């Protein structure tokens, strides 16, 4: 079985299927696993969690998993309340789920090609991606526009995938020599029209190097309006807005990252989608909503569905 996407949803599905004795291979186009649970390295050993900032745990299955992670130092609570982060970075929980799973990174799946009752995976130019025999099932956990392109190219569809909508997000990563954020390590502005919706002291998270590293997310309206601007220009403008909100010292490093599909605005409303007749399935935050926990539960649901169909 093949799983496309090594974010938390793909990792959850792979972990469950491997636990049930199934052979799975996970492919991701990125350099490493994690997807939007991401940590980027900057100069001087600096690191920034530039995607998901933290995760919550409310479902008993996810609570049990998070308790195991915190006991083993894979995750820790941050700022009290109900917030957890991966340690030493946000990818750690995904890497933990993928422990022992066959993982192939740097593989952008471009085409699904029918072969008998299975599927072969190819790059966009037709080059083969996984040399193994055809896969009996392919579980797609990439954001819905990428999933739709793969399904459409194979002449297939899954109901609801086309309706999923995401808000984009521009993220600013900044290292500076100024004082820490006053009062609290996080400033939030829930106004959808706010230029900066989230400002966080990245170094305040457990297991990070202490120091003045800030991760700030632009609001959805601003991000959408500036989606195709150059990253350097976006960084400059977001720094100017940041300076109006918090003290910023001499800048040692700054960069901006564009997340085209950041937060689900409209989800399928089902835990997962699976077509037993084709062996194609879809999971991820596009199914249940814009949270790490929802993406995990969706991946788990898809694995359970696949196992139930085979029983
Ligand atoms: C800026 C930002 C802030 C966020 N903040 C929070 C937060 O504070 N709390 C929270 O709970 N959630 C937050 N989220 C949302 C959370 O990160 C996501 O809901 C969750 O990580 C989605 O997991 P996923 O596995 O569904 O998708 P992803 O993590 O996107 O994984 C999909 C994977 O598919 C891969 N892929 C795509 N196309 C292909 C292809 N053709 N071939 C191979 N691989 C492919 C991608 O490389 C990616 O690794 C945030 C997201 C962003 C972007």
Please give the distance, rounded to the nearest whole angstrom, from the Cα atom of residue 203 to the centre of ligand 1.
22
Asked whether residue 27 falls in the same domain as residue 152, the answer is: yes
Peptide bond into 182 cis (omega under 30): no
Are 98 and 238 members of one domain?
no
d(CA 247, ligand 1 centre) in Å: 31
Q: Write the residue with the smallest CA distance to atom 2 of ligand 1.
A: 51
Residue 285 lies in a domain: yes
Using the mean position of ligand 1's atoms as its centre, give its distance from the Cα of residue 45 in Å. Answer: 24
CB-CB contact of 10 with 285 (8 Å): no
If asked whether residues 258 and 280 sit together in one domain, one would say: no
Q: Which atom of ligand 1 is nearest to the CA of 110?
A: 41
The CATH number of residue 290's host domain is: 3.50.50.60
Could you list the pLDDT tens digit for every one of the 311 residues in the chain? Answer: 999 999 999 999 999 999 999 999 999 999 999 999 999 998 888 899 999 999 999 999 999 999 999 999 999 999 877 899 999 999 999 999 999 999 999 999 999 999 999 999 999 888 888 766 799 999 999 999 999 999 999 999 999 999 999 999 999 999 999 888 877 788 888 888 899 999 999 999 999 987 789 999 999 999 999 999 999 999 999 999 999 999 999 999 999 999 999 999 999 999 999 999 999 999 999 999 999 999 999 999 999 999 999 88
Would 85 be classed as within a structural domain?
Answer: no
Asked if residue 143 is part of any domain, the answer here is: yes
DSSP track, 22-45? ---EEEESSSSS-TTS--EE-GGG
CATH number at residue 185: 3.90.660.10
Same structural domain for residues 198 and 101? Answer: no
Lining ligand 1 with CB less than 6 A are 4-10, 27-30, 35-37, 51-55, 108-109, 141-143, 146, 169, 171, 217, 259, 262-263, 284-285, 290-292, 295
Q: Are residue 280 and residue 291 in the same domain, yes or no?
A: yes
82-118 residues labelled b (16+ CB within 10 A) or e (exposed): ebbbbbbbbbbbbbbbbeebbbeeebebbbbeeeeeb
């Amino acid at each position: 079985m093949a799983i496309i996407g090594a974010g938390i949803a793909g990792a959850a599905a792979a972990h469950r299927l491997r636990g049930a004795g199934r052979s799975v291979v996970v492919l991701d186009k990125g350099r490493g696993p994690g997807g939007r649970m991401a940590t980027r390295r900057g100069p001087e050993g600096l690191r920034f969690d530039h995607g998901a900032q933290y995760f919550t745990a409310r479902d008993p299955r996810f609570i049990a998993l998070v308790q195991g992670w915190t006991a083993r130092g894979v995750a820790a609570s941050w700022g009290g309340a109900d917030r957890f982060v991966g340690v030493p970075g946000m990818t750690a929980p995904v890497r933990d789920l993928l422990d022992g799973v066959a993982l192939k990174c740097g593989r952008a799946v471009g085409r699904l090609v029918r072969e008998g009752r299975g599927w072969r995976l190819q790059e966009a130019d037709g080059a083969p991606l996984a040399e193994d025999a055809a896969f009996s099932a392919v579980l797609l956990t990439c954001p819905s526009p990428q999933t739709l392109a793969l399904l459409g190219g194979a002449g297939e569809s899954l109901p609801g995938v086309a309706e999923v909508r995401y808000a984009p997000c521009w993220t600013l990563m900044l290292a500076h020599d100024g004082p820490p954020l006053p009062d609290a390590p996080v400033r939030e502005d829930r106004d959808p029209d706010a230029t900066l919706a989230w400002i966080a002291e990245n170094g305040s998270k457990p297991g990070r190097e202490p120091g003045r590293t800030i991760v700030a997310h632009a609001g959805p309206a601003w991000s959408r309006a500036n989606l195709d601007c150059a990253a350097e220009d976006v960084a400059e403008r977001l720094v100017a807005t940041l300076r109006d909100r918090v003290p910023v010292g001499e800048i040692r490093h700054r960069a901006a990252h564009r997340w085209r599909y950041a937060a689900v605005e409209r989800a399928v409303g089902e835990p997962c989608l699976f077509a037993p007749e084709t062996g194609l399935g879809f999971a991820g935050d596009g199914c249940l909503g814009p949270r790490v926990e929802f993406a995990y539960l969706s991946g788990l649901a898809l694995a359970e569905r696949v196992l139930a169909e085979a029983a």
